[in-house]
Amino acid sequence: MASLISCPHCGTRPKEEFTIKGDANLTRPAPDAGAEDWYDYVYLRNNPKGLHKEYWHHSSGCRRWLIVERDTVTHKVHGVSDAALTKLGGGA
């Protein structure tokens, strides 16, 4: 993992201040979706190779939710944005 993350609120900080929380590209099923859709959403995950967007929480800093775009092979961080200010498209 990259040793530094550039928080849009706090500046460049060590990665130990952050907690990775998962895939930022998942689309939550509708409340009335079937059991199979909910099962897939809760339990099944892709293991992408390459550029990927993830939710990270700046747990030891500003406590904001961020979207970190990083390469899962090299762990290089390509971008960081505030999750509350970022709109993601559906799909992986």
Distance, CA of 66 to CA of 24 (rounded, Å): 10
pLDDT of residue 91: 43
Q: Where are the domains of the chain?
A: 4-85
**Statement: residue 80 has pLDDT above 60:** yes
pTM over 0.85: no
C-alpha angle 80/86/91, rounded to 5°?
A: 95
- State pLDDT tens for residues 37-79: 999 999 998 888 999 999 999 999 999 999 999 999 998 999 9
Q: What is the CATH number of domain 4-85?
A: 3.30.2270.10
pLDDT of residue 92: 40
